[in-house]
Amino acid sequence: MKILEANNGALTNFEVLDFLRAKGASKDPTRVLAKVAQSEYKVYDYLIDTAARDQTRESINEFLESVKSHDLAKAEILNIINIRPTNIVEIFPIIECCDTRFSDEELTEIVELVKRTLPPPPEDANGAEPTKSNGEEGGEQMETS
């Protein structure tokens, strides 16, 4: 393999997953026939349970076109695509100085763009999103009285 452009930029989770699929990670259930390293299989296993599984180049391009009107950095856009926030609370840690750069209406608009253009994350067997904890972290729950 020849590197054409070293460190050309950051990749979305979808692009990494697409690359691993092209290498054969999704086609070899025994994990011995394809030329995929064990660490790449681990990355594939992680990404297949994220929103990247159902994303397409078209949905990402549609989001990129829609979000151009907002003044977001490339890294912020990349993180929004990868994390796929579904409410304002989830978008605050992604966007630097979020409360001073954007009004609540603008943030709501960005979240609605995400919901409209990017597919939701897959649900696990229990019907809950795998990225959510469902309160099963082994910690104690607080009693409210």
pLDDT digits (tens, 9 = 90+) for 27-53: 666 656 567 777 888 888 899 889 899
The Cα-based distances of 88 to 96, 110, 137, 142 in angstroms read 13, 9, 24, 25
Region 94-111 average pLDDT? 93
CA distance 28 to 5: 29
Residue ranges covered by each domain of the chain: 13-49, 56-117
Contacts of residue 142, Cβ cutoff 8 Å, sequence gap at least 6: none
Q: How would residue 72 be classed by pLDDT, with cut points 50, 70 and 90?
A: very high
CA distance 114 to 56: 14
Give this prediction's pTM: 0.74
CB count within 10 Å of CB 86 equals 15
What does CATH list as the number for 56-117? 1.20.1250.40
